[in-house]
Amino acid sequence: MKYILVLLLAGLTSNAQIQKEQLNLMPWPQGIVLNEGNFALSKTFKVNITGNPNARIFGAATRFLRRLDGRTGMFFEQGFITKLNEYPTAELQINCQKSGKIALYEDESYHLEVKKNQITINATSDLGALHGLETLLQLLQNNGTSFYFPTTQISDFPRFTWRGLMMDAARHFQPVDVVKRNIDGLAAMKMNVFHWHLVDDQGWRIEMKKHPKFIELASDGQYYTQEEIRNIVKYADERGILIVPEIDVPGHGSAILIAYPEIGSKVIILTGGTAEKNIQGTAIATYGIERNAGIFSPTLDPSNPKTYQLLSEIFDEVCPLFPGAYFHIGGDENEGKDWDANPKIQEFKKKNKLNNNHELQTYFTMQLAPMLKKHGKQLMGWEEILTKNLSKEAIIHSWRGANEGVAAGQSLTEAVKGGYKTVLSSGYYIDLMHNVESHYLNDPMPKGVELTAEEKARILGGEAPMWTELASATTIDSRIWPRTAAIAERFWSAQDITDMTSLRRRLETISFRLEELGLTHISNKNVILRNIANNQNIEAINDFSNVCEPLKGYTRNKGGIEYQMYSPLTLFADACTPDAKDALAFDNAVNQYLVNKSPENKAKVALFLNKWIAVNKTLNELSNNAPLIRPVLPLAQKLSEASLQLLLVLDNKPTLKGTDLKNLIEQCNTKDHADVELAVYASFKKLI
Amino acid sequence: MKYILVLLLAGLTSNAQIQKEQLNLMPWPQGIVLNEGNFALSKTFKVNITGNPNARIFGAATRFLRRLDGRTGMFFEQGFITKLNEYPTAELQINCQKSGKIALYEDESYHLEVKKNQITINATSDLGALHGLETLLQLLQNNGTSFYFPTTQISDFPRFTWRGLMMDAARHFQPVDVVKRNIDGLAAMKMNVFHWHLVDDQGWRIEMKKHPKFIELASDGQYYTQEEIRNIVKYADERGILIVPEIDVPGHGSAILIAYPEIGSKVIILTGGTAEKNIQGTAIATYGIERNAGIFSPTLDPSNPKTYQLLSEIFDEVCPLFPGAYFHIGGDENEGKDWDANPKIQEFKKKNKLNNNHELQTYFTMQLAPMLKKHGKQLMGWEEILTKNLSKEAIIHSWRGANEGVAAGQSLTEAVKGGYKTVLSSGYYIDLMHNVESHYLNDPMPKGVELTAEEKARILGGEAPMWTELASATTIDSRIWPRTAAIAERFWSAQDITDMTSLRRRLETISFRLEELGLTHISNKNVILRNIANNQNIEAINDFSNVCEPLKGYTRNKGGIEYQMYSPLTLFADACTPDAKDALAFDNAVNQYLVNKSPENKAKVALFLNKWIAVNKTLNELSNNAPLIRPVLPLAQKLSEASLQLLLVLDNKPTLKGTDLKNLIEQCNTKDHADVELAVYASFKKLI
């Protein structure tokens, strides 16, 4: 048979009664009862809204209708929903008691009931109703001819109040449409915070009317206008999403200091005079937009009143753009190098009895709190802001782990025990290309630590940071999705929802459905592969990409200088993703075979191995007209050689000695080619 | 061999000397000399700009570098180009004598010379240099390991000064990113006009600060803010593109009349009183946003001074958004039904000695000319505005043809003979899904008509209209590209560049390269197919889509009421395109076989036929879990049955009688299924 069929279990026979475990819900609801029977969809299906909701429910219900329309091709009669109680007899009744506020601790619960002839969503606020509509879309089933919802009762609410994604728009700038489609993705996954990293060494991304120098000198023309920001804030509000802006200070300061070098900490020592009389002076250093990745020294001068004057003016212009109650001031990775070398700053420390740079940074941070409070904003910062004199009102963003030489999430425990509210990002760094399991099983509630109920309550939730040193507008969606959907489940669903098999099964459908929001995590892969293959057939390079994963952690772009922040990312590693699809399928086949060496199970393993031998051959042929394929050839060669030997092993006819075979397999563990690694190495080892 | 290799002839051996005919240039340049040898690209490749260009060249040269970077994975050192003469020894030297103006009749010529160690682009203005950069990108060659440009001398300039695309944002609204990426596509194809159809019966799409009712009542919230419009105008300017806005009046008036019904032409006759005394009166009709496709009666009242007052105010607000010298006022398809039925309008006609509705419309049009002139704008309209009293300053947009009961392009000849400038759109209606050949061979210069040199000079060029009754943001790119690239060549290149084989060969590479601009004409096909297949394997449905074409002309969405303007377009027909890929390849195979019935040629034909039999089988299996596949099954069945019989014919073992076989093939000519037709019907007929 030429085409591999992936026939889903559900719906093969007419309206087969589906089991709860077969539903592709994500995040999994807190309570669900599945009944017998179905609600059949038809062209006249209508929505009616009652109660006292925020007007955002009208747009949300309209988008719900259009998405359902797109999936079913039904061309529903109902167009734009713009008022209450327009169709009192509509099949879908949505009732909300009150208007939801885009803030923490709002009641986001909903009750969804699907009966045979009626669907109801009841929610305290429209925010809950929005979640209910997403759940209803996920409930959609079909057989061969029609679409329907199974009769169900769902009661649902989030476990954590902060369920966020951070997007870095400073490294590779991310245009408005990228931001919007990802906000749609967040809403679909019942997340509620979009943390927008807008300023870093590599660029200032906010139009500033009173300080035009920022965008003139530090944006390369790549920034959001204030209208675009307002427009995105409104877009997010309509989808129940709070936007938390970040301006990272006092470190990561290049972009600010390009425009205002006079508030930088770096001093240049000038020497002159004669042999007899040596004259020394200092000059202000100048700064440039950082083009590489890494931690850099440009830092604001905390001893200079002008620093605070400028920051105060910045907040006065930026805060009104964001109606939310939180403002992130960064505060991370300030190494204090320029502080230590600046005599004026050292003097300032002494005068103010600040014993070290941490205390100096706390002094700095505390100056910002009232500037933000003036605009009704609470200060949030990365965990480095946490020192003894920090106000308890600050929110601690816990991020460091083994790579930074500390225990993962250690600051989270310290923060809550110290009386601070906190959000966990350690373990959710989706830019680092770790597999979905590592993120999914990472709980914001620390294990093995005794916490009181109050301390636990200070853990607001978690946030997945998407840094963009290695992600462009073309590739970022595939770095965020589908893994962030699993993280969303961790933040929303009950703590004991941890089954990886279920997660993986559901994630495949969820990932597919996210495409309808315009997300390009699936479709842009072929765009990159076509470019690599120079418009030759991409089947072989695609097959190969399905067993390769981008290098993990901080091992790609060594030293941060291979790629510049303006470089497009169009290499093989940019087409690959964590959780390489065929690697997982192969591992399952290997495991089955090792349990039962039946001819069928053997054939399943051999099918993969033979495919990879063919892939290598084809890639070599294609590379004659595609230089971008060349860097992957050594790895494809190793995969092919190992596959060939493993086929012989399967047939009990190995031609290599044990150690030679082992060496051959070990070569598949290389990280030296094309910024990727073979994801089948562990499975190969099982076979020898 | 598992993978079908498409190995291009070029570059198989190290830096093989390429022939002129192998270059994938489009539009084909006016003059080209290919020399021996190559310019080799390296990481240190740099660009330098001299002369007195407009600053747009800096951005254009920077984007050129990034696109070259994306194709080659070279990570060029040079980042943003922001000033003149930064690298006097750079390999690529661009010199422009003056700043180009975004207007007609500008000198867009350029000379591009590639030597072994140096590349130069010399142009009168930066507009020519922008074209030169696009040509240089198209010249890029590679062998198995490296990228290079062949040494060349190119002298180039456009044949016509107006080379446009019209996009309808009124029917299916097209978001900002859709507009921007298509403007990039236009620039890549050396087109220079983006005609933006912003108002029609189905919506008003321009934010109006003084008349907020337009967007409140007639946009469904889908409109461009004034900042977005300014931003797009700037974006277009940076790419050498003139934007011509259109507000369609006096017909197509629903959106205007929803907000201001008092200037509508429709009257409602009220009757009352008693049996003895009959009282008659009139009332103003109310209007609604039109949800269907078609020609509708709502028309502005040309006898009402308030109409001109409002239009004047509209132009006062809209004209300053668009610095270009042209404003399109529509003027098409005004059927005059409401005019005829309105006694006040009839009286006005009499009083003003206007003999018919055409003269009344000219009266109307002539009122608008000074309103536009006040803002430095020349009036342009669809050909219906052409009547005897029309000012010679108006530009006539020739569009009608056989479907409208007139000879195609007849108005173009009438216009130029009458002293009017004109732009041709008849024959370039890309929304109608005709094949690329029909557009490519349609010349703006009429055949068989004697024209003087002056008359010829009044033919400004042509424009491809993309109406969006059947195109959403997801599908519009595949309706525009790649066919518009062929149209671009018609408008730019010499009249005798008409070879279809060459066009088709070049178009395949050009289409692929347009992806790098973010255009989704290739990638969104699989997005739609995945939805249709309900996330099952899409190979079979994709294979089937490659022999199906959407119904042509006005035969889809019969009566304009099957789909509403808010409906997503996610059906099989939306995934299909004209010039079905496999149909063309199959036809070539059939033609070869008929010339020489060798076993090899026979096998090539049989390969397709066997594939289609398998496709039908697989589609049937997939449809058990994908209702959206079901509508295509009858057609797949016909294709399969015909293929089976044709295989027997190839083997000289037909089991059907001649007439039965003919009937079977005739069934492949159906247009009754899934809004598509089989594009292999004509080839099938050749085989029997």
Measured in angstroms, the CA of A112 and the nearest CA of chain B are apart by 25
Cis peptide bond prior to A245, omega within 30° of 0: no
- Tell me how far CA of residue A537 lies from CA of A126, A618, A676, B6, B330, in angstroms: 48, 10, 21, 6, 45
Determine contact: B514 vs chain A, CB below 8 A: no
Determine contact: A71 vs chain B, CB below 8 A: yes
Determine which of B72, B80, B535 to mutate to test the interface with A (most A C-beta atoms within 10 Å): B535
What residues in A contact B11, CB-CB < 8 Å? 624-625
d(Cα A513, Cα B385) in Å, to the nearest integer? Answer: 48
Phi, psi of B329 (to 5 degrees): -105, 15
Cis peptide bond prior to B250, omega within 30° of 0: yes
Interface of B with A in 149-178 (CB under 8 A): 175-177
Query: Strands, E, within A78-137: which ranges?
Result: 92-98, 110-114, 119-125
**What pLDDT does A278 receive?**
76
Measured in angstroms, the CA of B165 and the nearest CA of chain A are apart by 23
d(Cα A539, Cα A523) in Å, to the nearest integer? Answer: 14
**What pLDDT does B284 receive?**
85
CA B464 to chain centre: 5
What residues in B contact A536, CB-CB < 8 Å? 5-8
Contact A628 B535 (CB under 8 A): no
Contact A4 B73 (CB under 8 A): no
Residues 6+ apart with CB under 8 A from A402: A408
Determine contact: B472 vs chain A, CB below 8 A: no
Residue of A nearest to B542 (CA): A3
DSSP H or E stretch at residue A327: strand A326-330
Contact A534 B142 (CB under 8 A): yes
For residue B393, the 8-state DSSP code is T
Residue of B nearest to A508 (CA): B535
Model confidence pLDDT, tens digit, residues B632-677: 999 999 999 999 999 999 999 988 998 999 999 999 999 999 999 9
Contact B531 A523 (CB under 8 A): no
DSSP H or E stretch at residue B273: strand B267-273
- Neighbour-count burial of B272, counting CB atoms closer than 10 A to its CB (0-12 exposed, 13-18 middle, 19+ buried): exposed
Assess whether pLDDT exceeds 70 at residue B13. Answer: no
Model confidence pLDDT, tens digit, residues B558-579: 888 888 999 999 999 999 999 9
What residues in B contact A540, CB-CB < 8 Å? 3
| C-beta separation of A248 from A329 below 8 A | yes
Q: Angle at Cα A403 formed by Cα A507 and Cα A390, nearest 5°?
A: 100
| C-beta separation of A3 from A81 below 8 A | no
Interface of A with B in 546-585 (CB under 8 A): 562-564, 566-568, 570-571
Reported ipTM: 0.95
Q: Which of A69, A177, A627 sits opposite B147 (nearest CB)?
A: A627
Interface of B with A in 202-221 (CB under 8 A): 220-221
Residues 6+ apart with CB under 8 A from B295: B251, B333, B335
Q: What is the mean pLDDT of residues B106-113?
A: 98
Give the end-to-end CA distance of chain B in Å, rounded to a whole number: 31
pLDDT along chain A (688 residues), means of 10: 41 63 97 96 97 98 98 95 97 98 98 98 98 98 97 98 98 98 98 98 98 98 98 98 98 96 91 76 89 94 98 98 98 91 95 95 96 98 92 96 90 96 98 98 95 97 98 98 98 98 98 98 98 98 98 91 91 98 97 98 98 98 98 98 97 92 96 97 96
Measured in angstroms, the CA of B571 and the nearest CA of chain A are apart by 7
Contact A564 B508 (CB under 8 A): no
Determine which of B13, B519, B526, B625 to mutate to test the interface with A (most A C-beta atoms within 10 Å): B625
Contact A624 B526 (CB under 8 A): no
Query: Strands, E, within A552-612: which ranges?
Result: none
Confidence class for position B7, pLDDT limits 50, 70, 90: very low
- Neighbour-count burial of A209, counting CB atoms closer than 10 A to its CB (0-12 exposed, 13-18 middle, 19+ buried): exposed
Contact A567 B75 (CB under 8 A): yes
Contact A176 B177 (CB under 8 A): yes
Confidence class for position B280, pLDDT limits 50, 70, 90: confident
Model confidence pLDDT, tens digit, residues B581-624: 999 999 999 999 999 999 999 999 999 999 999 999 999 999 99
Contact B73 A570 (CB under 8 A): yes
What residues in B contact A562, CB-CB < 8 Å? 75
- 3-state SS, residue B316: helix
Q: Angle at Cα B425 formed by Cα B420 and Cα B428, nearest 5°?
A: 160
Measured in angstroms, the CA of A81 and the nearest CA of chain B are apart by 10
Contact B73 A628 (CB under 8 A): yes
What residues in B contact A6, CB-CB < 8 Å? 535-537
Measured in angstroms, the CA of A159 and the nearest CA of chain B are apart by 31
Determine contact: B16 vs chain A, CB below 8 A: no
**What pLDDT does A16 receive?**
62
Q: What is the mean pLDDT of residues B86-109?
A: 98
Measured in angstroms, the CA of B562 and the nearest CA of chain A are apart by 8
Contact A536 B7 (CB under 8 A): yes
What residues in A contact B79, CB-CB < 8 Å? 220, 291, 564, 566
Interface of B with A in 437-466 (CB under 8 A): none
DSSP H or E stretch at residue B165: strand B162-168
Measured in angstroms, the CA of B456 and the nearest CA of chain A are apart by 41
Chains A, B: CB contacts under 8 A, how many? 202
Q: What is the mean pLDDT of residues B275-303?
A: 89
Measured in angstroms, the CA of B7 and the nearest CA of chain A are apart by 7
Assess whether pLDDT exceeds 90 at residue B388. Answer: no
- 3-state SS, residue B121: strand
What residues in A contact B225, CB-CB < 8 Å? 227, 231
Measured in angstroms, the CA of A497 and the nearest CA of chain B are apart by 25
Determine contact: B4 vs chain A, CB below 8 A: yes
Output the CA torsion sign for B260, B263, B267, B272: positive
d(Cα B614, Cα B636) in Å, to the nearest integer? Answer: 10
d(Cα A90, Cα A112) in Å, to the nearest integer? Answer: 15
The pTM (predicted TM-score) of the whole model is 0.96
**What pLDDT does B5 receive?**
42
